[in-house]
Amino acid sequence: MKWNLLFIVIYFSLFLIGCDSKEKIKIDHIILAINALDLGIEKFEELTGLHAEYGGDHSNSFTHNAIVSLNKHTYIEILAPKKGLDSIPDFFKDFHELKPIGFAISISEIELLEKSLKNLGFSTQGVEDWSRKKTNGDKLKWKLLQVEKPDINVNPFFIKWSEETGHPTSEINVYTKLEELELITPFNIEINQILASINSKVDLLEIKDGNIAQVILSIQSPKGRITFK
């Protein structure tokens, strides 16, 4: 009888631990691409009444950004090629207006997610270390994980910010909020399989089937509800 009682206690203890270990994930940021950052900041302010703050340049890439805080630890990233390049990279050439091209989901156990993806048959480039310098000279650091095969248009990709450097929104006031993020994709099943592997649902994210991938972003701003697509 004592052994049966001990078994029950251990079983429910493990069950509760499993419940507590459920990964809490959320939308970290949504990317709006454009071929010139100054133009993107200007157009965003015209549409929303909000001024995006210059963020800095990415040391791993040919891009720099400006950001607008939405909710706590959630923001919009306006992404464009750095100034002074010999030419605009082909990817950005046709982006004369702000275009949602992808989004990041924050996750604390990013290395465990990489293992889960490999077990599910997905290919990645591994967990990558990224950084960028802020305008005050401080450096932001984060880890990045992207799905490589099957090609799901890097929607979503996953991010873990360094505890040492903090989150980009920590020093930015919030004047707007995220209303909805919609992902239309031919890889609905695969993306839901990835999210199911960490036993989680992402608030404000709706995933729909479609032949062509598209991200649709809706925010509440001083000029009302604004949608980018």
Question: Hey, what domains does the chain have and what are their CATH numbers?
Answer: 24-228 (3.10.180.10)
User: Beta partners for 58?
Assistant: 132
Q: How many CB atoms lie within 10 A of CB 47?
A: 16
pLDDT-derived band at 5 (thresholds 50, 70, 90) equals very low
For 72-128, write each residue's pLDDT tens digit. 789 999 999 988 777 777 888 889 999 999 999 999 999 999 998 988 888 888 999
Q: What is the mean pLDDT of residues 156-172?
A: 88
pLDDT-derived band at 218 (thresholds 50, 70, 90) equals very high
What is this structure's pTM? 0.84
* Type of residue at 153: N
pLDDT at 153 (0 to 100): 53
Copy the structure tokens of residue 195: 């999210």
Under 8 Å between Cβ of 93 and 100: no
Which range, of 59-63, 113-117, 147-151, 209-213, averages the lowest pLDDT?
147-151
Checking if the pLDDT of 21 tops 50, the result is no
The residues near 63 (Cβ < 8 Å, ≥ 6 apart) are 57, 79, 80, 81, 82
Q: For residues 87 and 3, give the distance between their C-alpha atoms in angstroms, rounded to a whole number.
A: 73
The residues near 177 (Cβ < 8 Å, ≥ 6 apart) are 70, 71, 219, 220
Copy the structure tokens of residue 42: 């200007």
